[in-house]
Amino acid sequence: MTAAPKRHAYEVAVREHALLGEGPTWDPAGERLIWVDILGSRVHTYAPGDGRRTVMATEQHVGAAKPRAGGGLVVNLRDGIGLYGPGGSSFTWLVRDPVPGRRGNDAAVSPDGALWAGTLRYDEAPGGGGLTRVAPDGTVTEQSGPLGDVAVSNGTGWSPDGRLMYYADSPTRRVDVLDFDGRHARNRRPFAVIEDCAGDPDGLTVDADGCVWIALWNGGAVRRYTPDGRLDRVIALPVPRPTACAFGGPGLRDLYITTARAGQERPHPLAGSVLVVPDAGQGLPGTLFAG
């Protein structure tokens, strides 16, 4: 039986009109949240301690931005993976692989410091997307074998012990789980199936209890599933298109949720903003990209 949505106290962390807000990531060194507006070609930061914000323009649509161990950001762009120096002081391509009609989408850093970068076609054609492991030295390993055809590569995350990888290809309406050995993901199988009319699985995060939190595009909610795949919590939101979620703030207790306003004739006033649910749970410390 599916749990009925329950209201939880959310707040507005960043009031913004992002077209496609995505990829919230907590940066422990800067005590700030990093997130992107994919279609606006912007990387945003927000420090909840003092409210300070920054915005950096990118020359291409940017699917994700993650902090690097040496400072700066690794970004999943339209034409590949790029590296920004601290403060956006410099830019270099780590992997440049332009494919007409394709762009980078959600990405995540695995426990060993590699970037798992997703792609999709702008028309979201089946088989047009993919997921690659990008090592710190730029070595690329395609994941088409264990994953099969991918359309819209989205949420990726790992269990607290690093032995499982969770993954969402949105049109499948599933969150899947794979065995993970530190470098390879194998044995893909369903973890949670999203029922009809409940939205499509988008970005996800895993908490310290091994529960998987998933944002539901067109579902107006974030759900938490226990490690055995049972739905045990629903955070209903005022906006129909939450895109991703991540823990941040003091002690990694606050759940930040990015949202989108693209494709809506009359978007909700908060569509495109970053919402936060204070003291929602206990997040896991993220891994910095080692490149």
Q: Which residues are catalytic?
A: 202
Give the chain's length.
291
Burial 124-138 (b: 16+ CB within 10 A, else e): eeeebbbbbbbbbee
**Which residues, 6+ apart, have CB-to-CB distance to 6 below 8 Å?**
233, 234, 235, 236
**Looking up tokens 């290809």, which residue turns up?**
169
Taking residue 9's Cβ as centre, other Cβ atoms within 10 Å add up to: 10
Helix (H, G, I), strand (E, B) or coil at 40: coil
134-140, Cβ contacts within 8 angstroms, sequence gap of 24 or more? 134/81, 134/94, 134/95, 135/291, 136/289, 136/290, 136/291, 137/291, 138/81, 138/94, 138/95, 138/291, 140/95, 140/97
